[in-house]
Chain A
Amino acid sequence: MKMAHEIKHHLTDDILMGYAAGTLPEAFNLMVAAHLSLCDTCRAQAESFDAVGGEVLNESMSNSAAMTSDSLAATMALIADGAMNSEAAVEQTADPVLPKPLRNYVGGSLDDVNWRGVGMGVKQAILPTSSGASARLLFIPAGAAMPDHGHRGVEMTMVLKGAFQDEDGYFARGDVEIADSDLHHTPVADIHEDCICLAVTDAPLTFEGLLPKIVQRFARI
């Protein structure tokens, strides 16, 4: 039995605050929700930022807007109609790799992921999120390297299974690497196990090494 991995690479305060304030693009929200499912340290920090929102709301007398005169009665009528359609939550079984928010996006478990090969044994599955940022699952065979790539925007990569190593350190389940345009890196999957990651970015990646531009366009990396 392997010891639970202690998460060492966390989300940053600006991301967590953006999640609490509701200003991040959907793909980033998905990354945060997936990470918080695995990391109580960041969950507590995110809920602290929720508390800031609560205080801002509570103190915002000057920003409050009068409700219409029959609004309470209208709300009681809404309540009498029963609970609003809480999103059609399909109850799935637990999955040792995908936390629940990701299961919602793949529509099931790891077995339901619609992988597409992008070369060198690397596979990806793009998850359906709104435009503005994209989210995808990545499968990197044990010991394989992702092509060296730089970034135009912000890219966050969280390990779900296995591990990878790059210039920034060693990343295992729950660890998030946050890369911006300054970082050029070549992640290499740990030799012992295939690596599965969630990666989100608000800009297309720019590859310099192995994948020619045409493949990049085709693969929507």
Chain B
Amino acid sequence: MLKEPKFIFDPLLRGRRRPFMLTGVDTTETQTTPPPGVVLARAERPKGMKNSDGKRMLWVSHMTRIRDHQDQAAFAELFDHFAPRVKGFLIKSGANNSLAEECAQEVMATCWHKAHMFDPARASVATWIFTIARNRKIDVLRKERRPEPEELTWGPEEEPDQADVMAIQQESEILGRAIAELPEAQRELIQKAYFGDFTHSEIADQTGLPLGTIKSRIRLALERLRHAMK
């Protein structure tokens, strides 16, 4: 749990069919969004945003801007952060430099095109980009298709609750810290499991990953989706 709220949540904005908004601790103003087509010189940062939250809410708001306003400045920031990580992931997975570069660009382009598919009540932006990069890896390096479960997505006019969005972003933060605090050997094992093409089957048992709370959060998000889809 966070000691002080980093975001103030306005219950009036909770209803569905509203875009989710961020408000900073030091202002009650909601963010102004530019009209479609207008590109900001630099993506606006929600006020009160601190680096200590791992920028997760910032990335979420960037995804909204990309989805709703084709905001190239927000995309550029996302790109700066994630593209080199995706490229590194692909190199670790066996791609050479030029293939990894090409795939990382494709992964980031997919983030733009599929921005409407990102559900911030179920995943962090990092998680979502990881899944796109992983699928690209399977497609390009293993030349296989990857079967995906039946989609569970919000309808075109529905949005997840802002409270759920913040909860899952916080859980991601907690999970990230927990991984960082694992003993070195275990952390390396997890890195290998995800970054190498490594089929070791006992990793899940050995690592003692604290997945209980994030799992129940995701489960809740799935239940709400199922309910909304009825």
Contact = CB atoms under 8 A, between A and B. Distances in A.
Contacts of A34: 147, 149
Contact of B134 (A21, A66, A72): A21
B113 A84 contact: yes
Nearest to B171: A51
Interface residues of A, number: 63
A43 B149 contact: yes
Given A40-B223, A100-B150, A50 B130 contact: yes
Contacts of A51: 123-124, 127, 171-172, 175, 211, 214, 218
Contacts of A18: 199, 201
Contact of B218 (A22, A48, A64): A48
Contacts of B128: 54
Contact of B109 (A52, A84, A105): A84
A145 to B, nearest CB: 30
B16 interface: no
A33 to B, nearest CB: 4
A45 B211 contact: yes
Q: Is the interface of B mostly helix, strand, loop or mixed?
A: helix
A52 B209 contact: yes
A55 B176 contact: yes
Interface in B191-230: 191, 193-195, 197-199, 201-205, 209, 211, 214-216, 218-219, 222-223, 226
Interface string A54-85: 11111111011111100110111011001110
Interface of A: 12-14, 16-18, 20-24, 26, 29-30, 32-34, 36-37, 40-41, 43-45, 47-61, 63-68, 71-72, 74-76, 78-79, 82-84, 87, 99-101, 104-105, 129-130
Interface of B: 54, 72, 76, 79-80, 82-89, 91-92, 97, 100-101, 104-106, 108-110, 112-113, 122-124, 126-131, 133-135, 137-138, 142-150, 152, 171-172, 175-176, 179-180, 190-191, 193-195, 197-199, 201-205, 209, 211, 214-216, 218-219, 222-223, 226
15 contacts: A17-B193, A26-B145, A26-B146, A44-B219, A53-B130, A53-B194, A54-B172, A55-B179, A60-B85, A60-B195, A63-B85, A65-B88, A67-B87, A67-B101, A75-B83
Nearest 3 A-B pairs (CB), nearest first? Answer: A54-B127, A33-B147, A36-B149
